[in-house]
Amino acid sequence: MNAPVAWRDVTSAARLDLRRARDDAWSESTEAPVELAAGPWLVELRGDEVADIRFDGVTLLRGVRAVVRDHDWGTAATVSGAAAHDGDALRLDVRFTAPGIDLVGAVTLEATADSLTIALQATAAAPYRGNRAGLVVLHPPVLAGTALTVVHPDGSSTGTRFPLEIAPHQPARDVAALAWTAGGLALALDLHGEVFEMEDQRNWTDASFKTYSRPLDRPFPYEIPAGGAVRQSIALAVTRRGGSEPPRHPASTPIRLVATGAAFPGIGVGAGPASAAPPQPGPGAPGLAAVLVELDPASTSWRDDLARAATEAGAAPLDVRLVTDDPTTLGEAAAALAGRPVARVGVFSRTTHVTGPTASRLLGEALDAAGVTAERVGGARSHFTELNRGRHDLPGDLDALTFSVTPEMHATDTDQLIESIDMQRLVARQAVALAEESTTTGRVHVGPITLRPRFNAVATSGDGPTDEAERLDPATVDHRQTSSALAAWTVSSALALAVPGVASLSFFETTGPRGLLTAAGEPTPAATAVALLAELTGGEVLEPDRPTPAGVRLAGVTTATGLRLVAANLSGVEARLEVVLPEDEDDPRLLVVPAWGVAVG
């Protein structure tokens, strides 16, 4: 057995400068990352997460983290001290706190020339009642399609693959160990202290497959008595197989744009909450496709919410999402829409968050009786996850599908936001494939798109807050909503989601804590981005014929005034893109995209 290798801090000043610039762009102040090396191993400590685990420069794991969830799947706050050496090992003291939760312990890292062990030991300072307490392992999404061996607790094994398409359910269950290859390396991951399983987190636009415990078919919440301990560890062993070639990077040649067959989606926004400033007539951006409003016909304020949305929409139509488990209220709601410009209407269960066949049929009958002609949409008001899992139970009378995008379901750090962009492209493509199988038009409407979830879709303690209380819950608000970098994120999101079949995108809300306008009525950087995107509606989309620099999205969109180049940069380095336009092969256009910014040409 190889001897332990000591860890050393290799964080560069340039790395810290980039982090400070990123914090400025996102209007936040975060703990500086620490890069640590031990022999061939390189990891980055981001608070309590051991991230970007690399061996000889090859990324093996997206991260490993100790996570404690409460009875509603809320994440307990984690306080971690500075990493300290414990012999050749590294120790990170941690404490997990939330109402009714207090676990205290440590995460340790120990490396040899060919293995890495990460262990958690934590003790409940008070009785714990929750749904998860232990280590989670995040595998990078580039493993999609890679052969995977699953070793079970009884010693038997099953051959499978990391899912290529986004898997609705667990691709690996009853896990004691996993084995796969990456970058010419054979990897064996042993998991100790509990039985694990894997889920495909791309469902929530997370850039990972997650291996976690306990299995979800066990009862939860569960309890740990005061003084009880959580002891888990993962051990990753590496064997060099040889024969692999380092990745080849193409020479710097001009980017050519090719047609995708997509028309740029219509751009909508969500209606502001009733408690926000008085609504302003007319949409916040010329060319806005719709104003989306969610209404619970059983509430006392739904008519006021509808009136507010109609005022904000001006001449633009409404995109109405009815949220109810009482189908007898649909007739009254449909009647209230009569005479208003309505682009589309859907109905969703408040408890399951999806469209049921009976409710969909009754809504159709109510709309017909009220003389309301609108596109009928259905799917999930929560995440793509629920749409993906309920694909076989979709109503047969829908014109189009819909789902929401909320990249902060599992984590709220800025890396999570950035990494979600590529996953949004995967989710959009798979949703369109579902729509082509199950709807009359094969179209998809994506939205609401918000940074944090608008409600807790996985709560186990009941329906939770409703209506205005739900919309004003601090857990639904992100401090980066008014940051300058959110403009680049919004444009990146739109370019990622603009695949053939996606008909509209609805971003954020007009006003309020998730709004495009500040409390003083001034447009935020995201509002400027939405206005830019609205100008592109209906244009033919062209995309690069090769990968762009990391973090950079680029598209060409035909408009009435010609082809427009639009690019967004979610990295800390300026990007200089030499782009060949279809009508001018001999004169490439240079597009300079600032760090954390947007460029149009």
Res. 168 pLDDT band, cuts 50 70 90: very high
CA distances from 554 to 268, 332, 545, 577 (A): 21, 45, 11, 9
Closest CA to 257 of 550, 497, 584, 536: 584
Whole-number pLDDT of residue 532:
96
* Residues 426, 203 contacting (CB under 8 angstroms): no
pLDDT of residue 585: 75
* pLDDT at residue 86 is higher than 50: yes
Q: Is the pLDDT of residue 250 over 60?
A: no
Residue range 222-234: mean pLDDT, rounded: 97
Q: What is the CATH number of domain 249-261+538-601?
A: 2.60.40.1180
Res. 252 pLDDT band, cuts 50 70 90: low
Quote the mean pLDDT of the chain: 93
Work out the average pLDDT over 451-460. Answer: 88
| Chain Cα centroid distance, residue 325 | 27
Mean pLDDT confidence for 157-181: 98
Write down the pLDDT at residue 473: 76
pLDDT score of 528 more than 80: yes
**Mean predicted confidence (pLDDT) in 172-200:** 97
Confidence of residue 467 (pLDDT cuts 50, 70, 90): low
Bridge-based pairing of strands 255-263 and 575-581 is parallel
Q: What is the average pLDDT across 355-384?
A: 96
| pLDDT given at position 34 | 95
Does 387 score more than 70 pLDDT?
A: yes
Where do runs of H (alpha helix) occur along 69-144?
none
Reported as a pLDDT band with limits 50, 70 and 90, residue 208 is: very high
CATH 3.90.75 fits 265-534, yes or no: no
171-173-174 Cα angle (round to 5):
165
Instruction: Check residue 79 and give its pLDDT.
Output: 85
- Predicted confidence at residue 274, as pLDDT, reads 72
* Inter-CA distances, 182 with 57, 140, 252, 419, Å: 11, 10, 27, 20
Please give the average per-residue pLDDT across 439-448, as a whole number: 96
Instruction: Give Cα separations from 281 to 54, 291, 412, 511 (angstroms).
Output: 54, 12, 34, 13
Q: Would the pLDDT of 276 be above 80?
A: no
Strand arrangement of the beta sheet that strand 562-569 belongs to: 584-593, 575-581, 255-263, 540-544, 552-559, 562-569, 598-600
pLDDT at residue 283 above 60?
A: no
Q: How confident is the model at residue 465 (pLDDT cuts 50, 70, 90)?
A: very low
Per-residue pLDDT at 347: 97
What DSSP assignment string belongs to 424-474?
A: HHHHHHHHHHHHHHHSSS-EEEEEEE-SS-SS-TT-SSSS---HHHHHT-G
460 pLDDT exceeds 80?
Answer: no
Architecture of domain 8-240: Distorted Sandwich (2.70)
Common-topology check for domains 249-261+538-601 and 265-534:
no
Q: Where are the domains of the chain?
A: 8-240, 249-261+538-601, 265-534
pLDDT of residue 282: 60
Residues 291-320 have a mean pLDDT of 94
Q: What is the pLDDT of residue 464?
A: 47
Structure tokens belonging to residue 8: 């050393």
Lowest mean pLDDT among 20-29, 64-73, 305-314, 511-520: 511-520
**For the chain, what is the radius of gyration of the CA atoms?**
25
pLDDT in tens, 113-161: 999 999 999 999 999 999 999 999 999 999 999 999 999 999 999 999 9
Position 563 pLDDT exceeds 70: yes
Q: Which of 584, 571, 577 has the alpha carbon at shortest distance from 599? A: 577
- pLDDT tens profile 13-27: 999 999 999 999 999
